[in-house]
Amino acid sequence: MIRTIKQGAIVVYDCEWTSWPGAQDSNWSLPWQHKEIIQIGAVKLDVGDGFREIDSFERFVRPQRNPELSDYIIELTGITQSQIDQHGVSFPMALADFTGFLSDAEMVLSYGGDASVIEQNCVLTGVPKPGIFLKEHDVRQTLKELGFITRTTVSSNLPAHLGLEHFEHPHNALGDARAVAASIRHLRKASHI
């Protein structure tokens, strides 16, 4: 699907959400565990200009069910409780801002299908899931099908996996969106996608 787009803007985005030791292995199965988004990061790329970054988006989001971040997620992401308390907005507000950012995108990409987490947060907060996420394409699936990555390759180490330098903080939504964008740029330049 990425191969077919030649002009216009695409958006690559990533989300970070609440987690605790063992939560991923159990798929957040305890009744009090929810994948509440704490950060949305995105970059808008000009396809016709080699996927050059033309804009970026970042919002911190205050989780409602578990408002105190775990030490685990603070260490993993580098996002602090202070950042959430001082700069975080409600999920509905962050989603409205993000939907505005996406409004002129020809395609929306995530790495691993973050739209499902957006949908879970819409359910948790009682807001409808915006239709723009129907345009979402999972770039991870495409790269797996093309043989560029393995099942365990995560977005933050994607550039290193492809032999590229990348200096963004791993597990930071904006940094991970830029990691995926750098990889897409590299693969398009090499005529792989």
Please give the structure tokens belonging to residue 171.
């597990």
Q: Which pLDDT score, from 0 to 100, does residue 56 have?
A: 98
Compute the average pLDDT of residues 152-180: 89
Residue 1's pLDDT band (cuts 50, 70, 90): low
Confidence bin at 109 (pLDDT 50/70/90): very high
Q: What is the mean pLDDT of residues 140-148?
A: 89
Domains present along the chain, CATH in parentheses: 2-189 (3.30.420.10)
What's the confidence (pLDDT) of residue 170?
85
Condensed to tens digits (0 to 9), the pLDDT of residues 72-84 reads 999 999 999 999 9
Residues 6+ apart with CB under 8 A from 6: 47, 48
* pTM for the full predicted model: 0.94
* Residue spans of beta strands (DSSP E) within 47-181: 52-60, 107-110, 136-138
